[in-house]
């Protein structure tokens, strides 16, 4: 079951992500970034490479944007595709995560959509009865 859905946006891609907890919301948002961007042409599992991130923000929404921007940088700057994410430390203003994934390989991976940036435009992160919801716009 997917924990996100795309919504219409004029020129970019909108994603509504859900999670039972804030931590799960962030993990699901990271998964949404790569589901939107990359297709594994071979359909097989990922090689196991690990990277640690430390990200800060002024509040939960800023932390989410900075986290997704760091994950996007891992792809654009380091060619690292995040397959899964585990939160090691998580507060409303700081997180430490371990990413598991592999290096981009054009024989194995297809770029479906190029995400240029994760934006503050229309950003919403809120607690709801069933957990947490975030609306995020990706600049494509």
Summarised one tens digit per residue, pLDDT across range 56-85 is 999 999 999 999 999 999 999 999 999 999
- Percent of the chain scored above 70 by pLDDT? 99
Query: CA–CA separation, 99 vs 48, rounded Å?
Result: 10
pTM: 0.93
pLDDT above 80 (res 44): no
- Percent of the chain scored above 90 by pLDDT? 87
N- to C-terminal Cα separation, the chain: 25
CA distances (Å), 17 to each of 10, 107, 137, in order?
19, 30, 11
Please name the residue that has the structure tokens 């609306």: 135
């Amino acid at each position: 079951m997917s924990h996100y859905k795309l919504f219409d946006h004029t020129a970019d891609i909108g994603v509504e992500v859900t999670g039972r907890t804030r931590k799960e919301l962030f993990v699901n948002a990271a998964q949404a970034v790569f589901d939107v961007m990359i297709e594994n042409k071979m359909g097989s599992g990922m090689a196991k490479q690990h990277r640690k991130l430390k990200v800060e923000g002024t509040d939960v929404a800023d932390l989410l944007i900075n986290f997704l921007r760091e994950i996007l940088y891992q792809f654009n700057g380091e060619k690292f595709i995040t397959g899964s994410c585990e939160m090691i430390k998580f507060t409303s203003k700081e997180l430490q995560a371990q990413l598991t994934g592999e290096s981009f390989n054009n024989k194995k991976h297809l770029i479906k959509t190029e995400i240029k940036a994760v934006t503050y435009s229309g950003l919403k992160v809120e607690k709801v009865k069933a957990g947490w919801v975030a609306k995020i716009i990706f600049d494509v």
